[in-house]
């Protein structure tokens, strides 16, 4: 799984999705196939939000967790919650849903997010907040570190929920199962046919920038790290490492009773994240 061009600025192209007829007005709900900078087609959805705000306002770009996609009910629920605060872009990472390619489990996915952010800005939104969950939480960190150059695919604030701080962590039973799924041929078959996730068979080469290294490079972009104290995948040393690396530009919320990622994110937490984004995204 090569990271050779992960810092390349995306120049996405847009192909209409069958759900979105040609001639659909901008700033209305639309669905498009983006093309990441390495050529992989990415299924993406834009929704103007329930707030009725005009184009220069805020747009959330939601990066789902491993085995999710733009049409999964838990991803739709997240999008609906953030729509009360601004417009929302959801998309399916490579190897997930209707997108092309195969999942590299957080490596090349940074290119998918860069394409989605550039598309979100093409609607005229001046402020972009990326919100990632689990694998997506690691991707938003790396994206902010690699695309913070004002190129059009950067972000104004970052929210990382239930993310790892370091790669190859196997300290919990769910993470040992995930490594079997990714690293073994039988596991990849289960991923493809049981979880609708197509996983790349190659190892990372080179190993991508770690989430904790990325968190240290995001400043001055505001960063919110959210983690549950009952997360079964990553214990609390992971979010604490991320927040410490971010320094004064990072903020840590440890949520009592919360488990892992989208399924564990309640409506009250999503409302608070939305309020934080409105206040911190410039």
Residue-level pLDDT, tens digit, the chain, 282 residues: 443 444 443 444 445 444 544 444 456 889 999 999 999 999 999 999 875 554 458 999 999 999 999 999 999 999 999 999 999 999 999 999 999 999 999 999 999 999 999 999 999 998 999 999 999 999 999 999 998 755 667 899 999 999 999 999 999 999 999 999 999 999 999 999 999 999 999 999 999 999 999 999 999 999 999 999 999 999 999 999 999 999 999 999 999 999 999 999 999 999 999 999 999 997
pTM: predicted TM-score of the whole model, two decimal places:
0.89
106 SS3 class: coil
Return the DSSP state at 195.
S
CA distance 231 to 237: 11
C-alpha to C-alpha distances, 83 to 76, 77, 86, 153, 220, nearest whole angstrom: 10, 10, 5, 21, 26
DSSP letter string, 5-48: TTTSPP---EEE-TTS-TTPPTTS-EEEEEE-TTS-EEEEEEE-
Listed by start position, the domains of the chain span 30-167+209-281
- What pLDDT was estimated at residue 151? 60
- What pLDDT was estimated at residue 26? 55
Crossing angle of helices 135-146 and 109-122, in 10° steps, is: 70
C-alpha to C-alpha distances, 141 to 157, 180, 203, nearest whole angstrom: 10, 25, 21
What angle (nearest 5°) sits at the alpha carbon of residue 10, between those of residues 6 and 14?
Answer: 135
Q: Are 149 and 110 in contact (CB under 8 A)?
A: no
CA distance 153 to 113: 8
Pick the CATH number of 30-167+209-281 from 3.90.105.20, 3.30.830.10, 3.40.50.1820, 3.90.1150.10: 3.40.50.1820
Handedness of CA 56, 222, 33, 74 (dihedral sign): negative
What angle (nearest 5°) sits at the alpha carbon of residue 93, between those of residues 87 and 95?
Answer: 155
197 SS3 class: strand
Ramachandran region, residue 125 (left: φ > 0; alpha: ψ -120 to 50; beta: rest): beta
């Amino acid at each position: 799984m090569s990271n050779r061009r992960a810092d390349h600025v995306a120049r996405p192209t847009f192909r209409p999705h069958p759900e979105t007829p040609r001639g659909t007005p901008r700033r209305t709900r639309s669905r498009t196939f983006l093309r990441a900078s390495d050529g992989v087609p990415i299924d993406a959805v834009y929704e103007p939000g329930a707030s009725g705000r005009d184009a220069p306002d805020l747009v959330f770009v939601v990066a789902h967790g491993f085995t999710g996609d733009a049409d999964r009910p838990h991803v739709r629920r997240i999008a609906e919650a953030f729509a009360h605060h601004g417009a929302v872009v959801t998309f399916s990472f490579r190897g997930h849903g209707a997108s092309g390619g195969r999942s590299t489990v957080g490596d090349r996915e940074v290119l998918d997010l860069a394409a989605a952010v550039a598309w979100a800005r093409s609607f005229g939104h001046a402020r972009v907040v990326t919100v990632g969950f689990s694998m997506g939480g690691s991707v938003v960190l790396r994206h902010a570190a690699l695309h913070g150059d004002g190129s059009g695919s950067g972000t104004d604030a970052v929210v990382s929920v239930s993310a790892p701080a370091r790669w190859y962590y196997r300290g919990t039973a769910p993470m040992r199962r995930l490594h079997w799924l990714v690293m073994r041929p039988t596991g990849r078959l289960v991923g493809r046919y049981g979880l609708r996730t197509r996983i790349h068979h190659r190892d990372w080469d080179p190993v991508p920038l770690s989430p904790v290294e990325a968190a240290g490079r995001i400043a001055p972009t505001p960063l919110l790290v959210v983690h549950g104290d009952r997360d079964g995948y990553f214990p609390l040393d992971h979010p604490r490492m991320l927040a410490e690396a971010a320094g004064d530009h990072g903020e840590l919320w440890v949520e009592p009773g919360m488990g892992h990622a989208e399924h564990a994110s309640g409506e009250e937490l999503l409302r608070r994240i939305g309020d934080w984004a409105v206040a911190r995204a410039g």
